Structure 1
Amino acid sequence: MTAIELKLGDITKFNGDAIVNAANESLMGGGGVDGAIHYAAGPELNNECARLNGCRTGEAKITAAYRLPAKYIIHTVGPVWHAQPSDAKKLKSCYVNSLRLAIQNDCKTVAFPSISTGAYGYPVSAAARIAITTIQNYPSNLIATIICYDRKTFQAYQAILNR
């Protein structure tokens, strides 16, 4: 089982092995956490992402973290919410594939944002349930930190974690 910590704050400040970016399919930056990570990492990140040929929903790819305190950025593309059963499957894949990449790259710590709950419209409590269940049940010695940008999201995750 993977240990989970929950924090309120800015994922770009995480001083650990890897942070997860809720990316878009181009991997070339966007809004929300994706834009913040690209901005904080610097232009070198765009150069590396341009060579990765994008990323499909539910999959994950890894890059260096450049100007961020973490070593790596794991980019994963969450699903746009359509209220379909496949949405949950794709969101779970984001966490599984990100955890797998973290382990393959000898990470001990990884930080996740709330994937798909911003512009992609996934309901926060449903996303939190998938994130926490998937991370907790993943067999690893990783310490996973979920970093929520706002108090409302933090409280939703905390409610699920406390069950």
Structure 2
Amino acid sequence: MTATTRNLGKFILLNGRCSISIHHGSVVDFSPPTHLRLASAIVNAANERCLGGGGVDRAINMAGGAALKADRCALPILPDLEYNEHLTLVDSLCDNEGAISTDKIEKDDVRCYTGDSKITGPGQYGDLKVPFVIHAVGPNYFHYSGEKGDSLLSSAYSSALQQAKAKNIQCVAFSLISSGIFRGRCTLSHVLKIGVTTIYEFMQKHHFPLEIHLYAFTSDEACELMDVASEILEDQSSKDNYTNEADVIID
């Protein structure tokens, strides 16, 4: 870790098979343990074009350099037909009569659907210390109903974890997805609970060792994330059939 990253706590889960660590800082600065360096990734909060945006997406692009930008450009553009089928599930894109308003989307620019993820790597990505970057697209809650947005947010987290599992990536550092302006009228606590819950449920379902790191960029996010993680993980641990389910180390 760099001097700009503060480690807030670590939850050791599922008899030590998995862990979730909370950090205050930028996911760009994440440095995996030496023994997991080749099996590590960061998760970028991307948009559907998957080429770059603002905030953490821009920071990751800059740190990843030309190699990361080239790999992102190489992600295949999704077929129009497939995307039109996807749109039928999105209520917020319907007009008053229920017709799909496809003119709201630049279809030929879409490389990743909302609620899904894509992976780039392995590669040597500039100043990034991981060989893989997973690009997860969370919902813009201004464009979705609360229930639909929640489903897509959970899907974005679980899709990123599926990408990691498929590549045998055992160490994953997440930026917080849909936690800024895109959370709309949702509280910060609400979207963070979805993320932490989804990650923990994935750990329970899949017998796959995972070391997860969650990065909160602002002080408010860091405090809220630590509260949410403590509430969810300590509560869930009492329901499992494991001893010493959640050993919590607070720095």
Query: TM above 0.5, one fold?
Result: yes
TM-score by length of 1: 0.94
Which of 11, 30, 39 is 1:14 aligned to? 30
1:101-141 per-residue CA deviation (whole Å, 9 max, x = no partner) reads: 11111111101111011231353211110011111111331
- 4+ runs deviating over 6 angstroms: none
Q: Does the aligned pair in 2 maintain the 1:124–1:156 contact within 8 Å?
A: yes
In the alignment, what sits opposite 1:131? 195
RMSD: 1.4
TM-score by length of 2: 0.62
- Do residues 80 (structure 1) and 140 (structure 2) align? yes
Distance in 2 between residues matched to 1:103 and 1:144, nearest whole Å: 12
The residue type equivalent to 1:156 in the other structure is E
Q: Which has the higher contact order (CA 8 A, sep 6+)?
A: 1
In the alignment, what sits opposite 2:230? 162
Q: Does the aligned pair in 1 maintain the 2:179–2:192 contact within 8 Å?
A: no
In the alignment, what sits opposite 2:217? 149
- Do residues 48 (structure 1) and 71 (structure 2) align? yes
The residue type equivalent to 2:23 in the other structure is K
In the alignment, what sits opposite 2:105? none
1:64-121 per-residue CA deviation (whole Å, 9 max, x = no partner) reads: 2512101100001110013520000000001111001111111111011110112313
Shift of 1:11: 0.5
Q: How many residues in Structure 1 have an aligned counterpart in Structure 2?
A: 163
1:30-41 paired onto structure 2 within 5 Å? 30-41=53-64
Distance in 2 between residues matched to 1:23 and 1:155, nearest whole Å: 24
Q: Does the aligned pair in 2 maintain the 1:32–1:118 contact within 8 Å?
A: no
1:43-122 paired onto structure 2 within 5 Å? 43-52=66-75, 53=77, 54-64=111-121, 66-67=125-126, 68-82=128-142, 83-122=145-184
In the alignment, what sits opposite 1:26? 49
Describe the SS at the equivalent of 2:129: coil
Q: For structure 1, which segment, 6-15 or 118-127, has the greater mean C-alpha deviation from structure 2 after superposition?
A: 118-127
Distance in 2 between residues matched to 1:162 and 1:50, nearest whole Å: 39
The gaps in structure 1 that reach 5 residues or longer are none
Describe the SS at the equivalent of 1:20: strand
1:19-65 per-residue CA deviation (whole Å, 9 max, x = no partner) reads: 00000111111100100000000022121111212111011110125
Distance in 2 between residues matched to 1:121 and 1:35, nearest whole Å: 19
Distance in 1 between residues matched to 2:221 and 2:24, nearest whole Å: 9
Percent identity over paired residues: 33
Tell which structure's C-alpha radius of gyration is larger. Answer: 2
